[in-house]
Amino acid sequence: MPSSLKISVIIPVYDEAKTIRSCIANVKECCGENSEIIIVDGSADGSTLSAVDDEGVMCLSSPPGRAVQMNIGAGKTAGDILLFLHADTTLPPKADALVRNALCAPCATAGAFKLGFDTPSRTMKFIAFIADLRCRMERVPYGDQAIFIPKSTFMELGGFPEIPLMEDVELFQSIKKRRLEIVILKESITTSARRYLATGPLRCAFRNTCLRLLHRFGVRAETLVALYRRRKVQS
């Protein structure tokens, strides 16, 4: 895919004032000049946007909800390729070239990076290994893997379904139903393990697996998010 194609990096945030500056610096380093950054804040106080001191970054406010935020950000982009990034996730070097090259593959429609965590914990490495194995078998990556897709394809698919959970899974399932190619890169992003460590790594991984299975059997997203939140409170 030509290097002239612009990459729009969309970062949905909620109370990420502590991480947003390092996230912006990482994107600028790894995506080069032919890219743009759009931050979409779902918190009412706009605390994350207040921490952004870069005039070259587009800052938007949005109702809360990751899918809603990402769709709003996508609608404001000027790029040819959309890359959806979590604020606590770090891209690998030359991420822009990796994304463009991945979408050059015959029939390639969308993709994501391999999952990695910012800790040397053997437990977290095992969780990342299992997650990568599942992803390569199912070809359905999660949002914390820095998913990417041509803007034209994303708009044709109708964007993310605006549901409170599993919006990433449903987007990629719709791509699979069309028998379109999904690329999983061998290069890893590095995402924060803070939520796993706060809940307990194995407990958190088990919870996520259960939610995914319930989703596969048709349980509504609203029910899943209620279970997710209740589990967090109990933890």
Residue 233 has pLDDT above 80, yes or no: no
- Residue whose token pair is 């994303």: 154
What pLDDT is stored for residue 225 in this prediction? Answer: 74
Domains identified in the chain, total number:
1
Residues 88 and 191 sit within 8 Å (Cβ to Cβ): yes
Name the token pair of 93. Answer: 């070097």
Residue pair 96/169 in contact by the 8 Å Cβ criterion: no
Any residues with CB less than 8 A from the CB of 107 and at least 6 apart, and which?
A: 180, 181
Domain residue limits at 175:
7-193
Residue 235 has pLDDT above 70, yes or no: no
| Residue pLDDT, tens place only, 8-28 | 999 999 999 999 999 999 999
Question: 234 falls in which pLDDT band (50, 70, 90)?
Answer: very low
What span, in angstroms and rounded, lies between the C-alpha atoms of 60 and 68?
Answer: 12
- CA dist 83 and 7 (Å) reads 7
Torsion of CA 168, 134, 209, 83, to 10 degrees: -20
Give residue 76's pLDDT: 97
Using the predicted structure, report yes or no on whether residue 169 has a pLDDT greater than 80. Answer: yes
Query: What is the Cα–Cα distance from 52 to 106, expressed in whole angstroms?
Result: 39
Q: Which two tokens stand for residue 188?
A: 């890893």
HEC string of 190-203 equals EECCHHHHHHCHHH
Q: Return d(Cα 10, Cα 111) in angstroms, integer.
A: 15
| 231: confidence class by pLDDT, cuts 50, 70, 90 | very low
Residue 229 has what pLDDT?
A: 65
Among 35-44, 94-103, 202-211, which stretch is predicted with the lowest mean pLDDT?
A: 202-211
Averaged pLDDT, 162-173: 92
Looking at per-residue pLDDT, the higher value among 208 and 152 belongs to 152
CATH code of the domain containing 48: 3.90.550.10
Range in 17-26, 74-83, 160-169, 183-192 with the lowest mean pLDDT: 160-169
- pLDDT at position 165 is 86
Asked whether residue 114 is domain-assigned, the answer is: yes
Mean model confidence pLDDT for the chain = 91
Q: Please report whether residue 215 resides in a domain.
A: no
Predicted pLDDT of residue 27: 98
Asked if pLDDT for residue 152 goes beyond 60, the answer is yes
At 96, is the secondary structure helix, strand, or coil?
helix
Domain contains 200 = no
Average pLDDT over residues 126-130: 94
One DSSP character per residue, 5-71 reads S-EEEEEEESS-TTTHHHHHHHHHHHH-SSEEEEEEE-STT-HHHHT---TTSEEEE--S-HHHHHH
This prediction's pTM: 0.91
- Percent of the chain exceeding pLDDT 90 equals 75
Residue 226 lies in a domain: no
pLDDT band at 230 (very low <50, low <70, confident <90, very high): low
- Strands 181-188 and 108-114, by their bridges, are parallel
Q: How confident is the model at residue 91 (pLDDT cuts 50, 70, 90)?
A: very high
